[in-house]
Structure 1
Amino acid sequence: MVTGVTRVLPGFVGLCLGAVLARGLSTVVGVNELLLAIGLGVLLANTIGVPDSLRPGTATHKIWLAAGIVLLGASLTIGSIVETGSTVLLLMIATVTVTVLTVEVIARNVAGLTERFGSLLAAGAGICGVSAVVAVGGGIRARETQIAYAAGVVLLIDAITIVVYPIVGARLGLSGIVFGVWAGVSMLSTGPVVAVGFAHSEVAGQWATMTKLARNALIGVVALGYASYYARRESGGSTSVSTLWTNFPKFVLGFLALVVLASVGVFSPDQQASIANAVDWLFLLAFVGLGTEIRATQLRGIGLGPALVVFAAMTVGSVLSLAVAVAVL
């Protein structure tokens, strides 16, 4: 055990330094800290390279990603899903379905992306951004470079929507409820949704948060669905319970367990705030490590196609959900 700790410690310290640097730079340059974390890892990997002494530690990024997903469940409750109301829930499910299917169709039939890569992009765009990319990536055994690139695409779109949504909301004079629901059902990641919601108004912030958290709860269903689909593909159309269990991302069970615990009031507000802070740091650690897996030569082979696919699908879902929200809310 001592030998194992000694091997991973240098790389882990490197991840910690990268996480702290990403958060510090974020406050200075105003760029998403997770995007900066990936960028720092990419910069290291594609300049001086990752020393062999650091590789065992940087490879632990999978552990920190899984831990972050599990703890994310503490911010969700079954009650938050019920509170959003049947109309909003239907709009949310419809938007998720349209976005996921649009990404899958464009990725496979237009952009020529691999099926697994398209599924990662679809999950990230349709459910909850980076968290969904990670959860689905573990279930379908996607390559680390695909997971990292898909996460980068999500964060890039997040950066765009943080600017665009408030402008559209102001120009159209959207009410707090309409704007909050629209942001919650169509934007990608939770942080940007909450940020633009409360930037609009208190009411918009509350609705955006409730709607987005309800949408996040679909991550377990989607992760299981994709894991089942690819397991059946690999087994020739028949899937045994053992095969499903092998492909199922086990940390999703921890995520669902914390949702249940949060729903029965196990966590106090202070504890939830502490857990949310821990999630932020775990994701920072993970994305510095993920960045070290990205090689510029590999990304040049992928091109801008994935980002354009997600942007196109998100635009479709955003426009449709806004039209419906204005009409029914």
Structure 2
Amino acid sequence: MNGRRLLPGLLALCLGAILARALAVSLGFNRLLLAIALGFVATNAVGIPDRLEPGIATHGLWLAGGIVLMGASISLGTVLEVGGLVLVLVVGVTATTLLAVEFLARNVFGLADRMGSLLAAGASICGVSAVVAVAGAVSAREEQIAYAAATVLLFDAITIVVYPIVGDLLDLSGMVFGTWAGVSMFSTGPVVAVGFAHSDVAGQWATMTKLARNALIGVVVLAYASYYAHAGGGGRPSVRTLWNEFPTFVLGFLALAVVSSAGVLSSAQVTSIENAYDWLFVLAFVGLGTEIRLADLRATGPMPAVVVLLALLVSSALSLAALLVLF
């Protein structure tokens, strides 16, 4: 893409990030949530000019870059101590959420099969990204994709507000809160935001746990494609398709975590990297806020939202209870 097309939007993201950090210092409020709020206000109260949209749309790249750099601050020793339990929890909650949405959508609320599958993928794996990935595998209609994506975004907006409140009320530790957000919230951006809004420890655990969920996308896409192909509705995805859907930034995160844990990086280098990924996160979350549009949320009908809400309440409550017992 032409760099000149990106420049205005990138400058807008930078200005938003600087403003969010300045307000955070003066108001004593979390900079990442302020960044989302600024983007939300900009898109809903003012509107985003067409010339800014290409640059602002790069916010996903900055989020991925920040996650990769965050690997430098991760201690693999600590992760390995409890990693087995967390991995079991990730798989369990993911499967529970997916099956709960499928059951409610098909057998209780009578939604179309593909609509239920899109909602199940978005709620159980990685939000809108999973909706789009599964939609391609099952040949879903455009209006189904839009409807499922809007429903997921609605709950992204709700959980960004509700999870920090619950975390404070229950006085959850950083590890418990971060893992809880990582296994039960939907999209990567909101998970990282609420994690670091709680504490650095929570942010790290939220990100690691969410990345583990995201890595399951290939399995879910393959399972859905095989199911609908067997039912006569879609084709089997190729290995290349599955690789394209896999969140490859996970590999960069793991590589940097290994390098850091091996003691290759000095404390000054780690501090510089931490400062860099903090800026990238603020930059990304300004763009993330522009994706939360009130018009899209209002267009979401009640039935998909009810299905996802019920599944979220179940998975959220069960995962939190399990974490409080285990840790």
The residue correspondences of 1:45-56 to structure 2 (distance < 5 A) are 45-56=43-54
Q: Which moved more, 1:74-83 or 1:189-198?
A: 189-198
Q: Please, which runs of 5 or more residues in structure 2 have no aligned partner?
A: 137-144, 183-190
C-alpha distance in 1 between matches for 2:55 and 2:326: 51
1:227-306 correspondence to structure 2 within 5 Å? 227-229=221-223, 236-302=234-300
Contact 1:182 1:318 in 2 (8 A): no
Corresponding residue for residue 167 of structure 2: 165
The answer to which of 109-118 and 263-272 deviates more is 109-118
Q: Distance in 1 between matches of 2:119 and 2:305?
A: 12
Question: What TM-score do you get using the length of structure 2 for normalisation?
Answer: 0.68
**Aligned match of 1:11 in 1, 6, 9?**
9
Secondary structure, aligned partner of 2:41:
helix
Determine which of 81, 84, 87 is the counterpart of 2:82: 84
For 1:119-268, what aligned pairs fall within 5 Å after superposition?
119-123=121-125, 132-133=126-127, 136=130, 150=152, 153-154=155-156, 156-169=158-171, 182-188=176-182, 189=191, 192-193=194-195, 212=206, 215-229=209-223, 236-268=234-266
Distance 1:251 1:217, change over 3 A: closer
C-alpha root-mean-square deviation of aligned residues, in Å?
Answer: 4.3
Q: CA deviation at 1:16?
A: 0.9
Q: Which amino acid aligns with 1:66?
A: A
Aligned length: 303
Q: How many angstroms apart in 2 are the aligned matches of 1:104 and 1:32?
A: 36
The one-letter amino acid of 2:165's match is: V
Compared CA separation, residues 68 and 195, structure 1 to 2 (3 A): closer
User: CA 1:88–1:284 in structure 2 vs 1: closer, same or farther (change >3 Å)?
Assistant: closer
Q: How many angstroms does 1:33 deviate by?
A: 3.9
Amino acid at match of 1:165: G
Cα deviation per residue 1:265-298 (whole Å; 9 max; x = unaligned)? 4444443443333333223323333444554332
CA distance in structure 1 between the partners assigned to 2:294 and 2:321 by the alignment: 40
Q: Which moved more, 1:66-75 or 1:21-30?
A: 21-30
Q: Which residue of 1 aligns with 2:318?
A: 320
Q: Deviations over 1:236-278 (max 9, x none)?
A: 3533223323433443433343344344344444434433333
Give, in angstroms, the shift of residue 223 of structure 1: 3.3
- Distance in 1 (CA, whole Å) between partners of 2:147 and 2:101 is 19
TM-score by length of 1: 0.68
Residues in 2 aligned to 1:305 and 1:28: alpha-carbon distance in whole angstroms: 42
C-alpha contact (below 8 Å) 1:181/1:325 kept by paired residues: no
In 2, the alpha carbon distance for the partners of 1:145 and 1:17 equals 32
- Aligned letter for 1:22? A
Give the Cα separation in 1 of the matches to 2:210 and 2:305: 22
Opposite residue 3 of structure 2, the aligned amino acid is: V
In 2, the alpha carbon distance for the partners of 1:106 and 1:121 equals 13
> Structure 1 residues 319, 237: closer, same or farther in 2, change over 3 A?
same
The percentage of counterpart residues that share the same residue type is 40
Q: In structure 1, how many angstroms separate the alpha carbons of the residues matched to 2:102 and 2:80? A: 29
Note if contact 1:81-1:213 (Cα within 8 Å) is conserved in structure 2. no
d(CA) in 2 for partners of 1:20 and 1:102?
42
User: Structure 1 residues 226, 182: closer, same or farther in 2, change over 3 A?
Assistant: same
- For residues 104 and 250 of structure 1, the distance between their equivalents in structure 2, rounded to whole angstroms, comes to 28
Gaps of 5+ in 1: 124-131, 170-175, 199-204
Mapped partners of 1:102, 1:71: distance in 2: 35
Preserved CA contact (<8 Å) 1:162 1:192: yes
Contact 1:41–1:288 under 8 Å retained in 2: yes
The correspondence of residues 14-53 of structure 1 with structure 2, limited to 5 A, is 14-27=12-25, 32-53=30-51
Of stretches 40-49 and 305-314 in structure 1, the one that deviates more from structure 2 is 305-314
Measure how far apart 1:211 and its partner are.
5.8
For the 8 Å contact 1:72–1:255, the answer to whether it is kept is yes
